[in-house]
Amino acid sequence: MHYLITGHTGFKGAWLALMLKELGHEVSGYSLDPLEKSLFTQADLASVFKHDFRGDIRNLSNLKEKFALANPDVLVHLAAQPLVRESYLKPLETFDINVMGTLNVLEASKEASALKAALIITTDKVYKNVNVLTGYVETDALGGDDPYSASKAAADIAAQTWIRNYAKVPMTIARAGNVIGGGDFATDRIVPDIIHDFSAGNHIELRYPRAIRPWQHVLDCLNGYIKLIDSMLATRTSGEWNFGPLDSEKHSVSDLVEEFAKHWPIENAWSESKEKHPEEAGYLLLNSDKARSALKWNDLLDFSTTVQWTNNWYVDARPPIERTTEQIRKFLELR
């Protein structure tokens, strides 16, 4: 199969491309240029792709041209403005990229005559957050109190509408979030901040240490995406799908930091920031029973193993492509 990934120069896109290659697939990508400090750049991944297209998903004419040229069997849409705090600074741009960009990708998919399936990635933050103590299910109401969450909820609703009225092939929506793993160097993300501060012998300041999040290794998340795509290709599966850890894996931001600290000679691993910060959800979990039952998907790495694999990636002295490929192969042996 030939996969086209939007956002292939980003963190999840880079891991997905390498995972698909290990599974014997061909990959192409459409994305903005990678950041200088990124997994894509450090692992020199451009050579992995049949087509390495660069462009903005807000440019519909360019998308159509490149989608027609690549003509993939499967489309995976990952490209987005993915940062909550950035969305407060650039709300209009965030909505433009996440909503109109998603609709442009769907519209451009019409140009791919070989297309057999498409997967649209949104986020766990599409759900209207009412701080319930159980995971959100796919039929729960969508919403968002910050520009990022609201834009992704709007993109999710827009994608559902487009799929319902215009899709000619199976198309689904996947919701996941708080994915961690090696090779994430993005600004204002918890894992890069932990590694940076611990490497310097410092503790880390946390905005909301007691906030609960569905922490999950990037490979577990991507394995869910791949299982969903396989189901679409085999049985024309449709709808919206959650991919998150079990309810028993409820861990706070401070839990994550303290788990990383077990691998570092750090005392007093964290302190709570005294600054005023934009609001964030205090409790956020996904119920993924639908995927576990219908797709036979399960997390293969528990919380402590997820942190261990992530930490090991950053402290490993080998070239990034070697450590990434090794972890993918090790994970695939667990399937």
Q: pLDDT at residue 105 above 70? A: yes
Q: pLDDT at residue 298 above 70? A: yes
Q: pLDDT at position 208, please?
A: 85
Cα distance between residue 222 and residue 242, in whole Å: 12
Please compute the mean of the pLDDT values over residues 225-248 and round it to a whole number: 96
Q: pLDDT at position 88, please?
A: 94
Q: pLDDT at position 249, please?
A: 86
Q: pLDDT at residue 278 above 70? A: no
| Entry pTM | 0.96
Q: pLDDT at residue 279 above 70? A: no
Q: pLDDT at residue 280 above 90? A: no
Kindly report, residue by residue over 3-40, the tens digit of the pLDDT.
999 999 999 999 999 999 999 999 999 999 999 899 99
Please compute the mean of the pLDDT values over residues 64-74 and round it to a whole number: 98
pLDDT cut 70: percent of the chain above it: 98
Handedness of CA 168, 174, 175, 181 (dihedral sign): negative
Please compute the mean of the pLDDT values over residues 202-217 and round it to a whole number: 91
CATH code for the part of the protein at 2-181+213-251+284-311:
3.40.50.720
Q: pLDDT at residue 266 above 80? A: yes
Q: pLDDT at position 324, please?
A: 98
Q: pLDDT at position 248, please?
A: 83
Please compute the mean of the pLDDT values over residues 130-142 and round it to a whole number: 89
Which residue ranges make up each domain of the chain?
2-181+213-251+284-311
pLDDT band, very low/low/confident/very high, at 250 (cuts 50, 70, 90) = confident
Q: pLDDT at residue 134 above 90? A: no
Write out the chain in H/E/C secondary structure.
Answer: CEEEEECCCCHHHHHHHHHHHHCCCEEEEEECCCCCCCHHHHCCHHHHCCCEEECCCCCHHHHHHHHHHHCCCEEEECCCCCCHHHHHHCHHHHHHHHHHHHHHHHHHHHHCCCCCEEEEECCHHHECCCCCCCCECCCCCECCCCHHHHHHHHHHHHHHHHHHHHCCCCEEEEECCCEECCCCCCCCCHHHHHHHHHHCCCCEEECCCCCEECCEEHHHHHHHHHHHHHHHHHHCCCEEEECCCCCCCCEEHHHHHHHHHCCCCCCCCEEECCCCCCCCCCECCECCHHHHHHCCCCCCCCHHHHHHHHHHHHHCCCCHHHHHHHHHHHHHCCC
pLDDT cut 90: percent of the chain above it: 85
Cα distance between residue 268 and residue 197, in whole Å: 12
Please compute the mean of the pLDDT values over residues 232-242 and round it to a whole number: 98
Q: pLDDT at residue 72 above 70? A: yes
Please compute the mean of the pLDDT values over residues 246-260 and round it to a whole number: 92
Q: pLDDT at residue 131 above 80? A: no
Q: pLDDT at residue 190 above 70? A: yes
Q: pLDDT at residue 174 above 70? A: yes
pLDDT band, very low/low/confident/very high, at 164 (cuts 50, 70, 90) = very high
Yes or no: say if 175 and 286 are a contact pair by the CB < 8 Å rule. yes
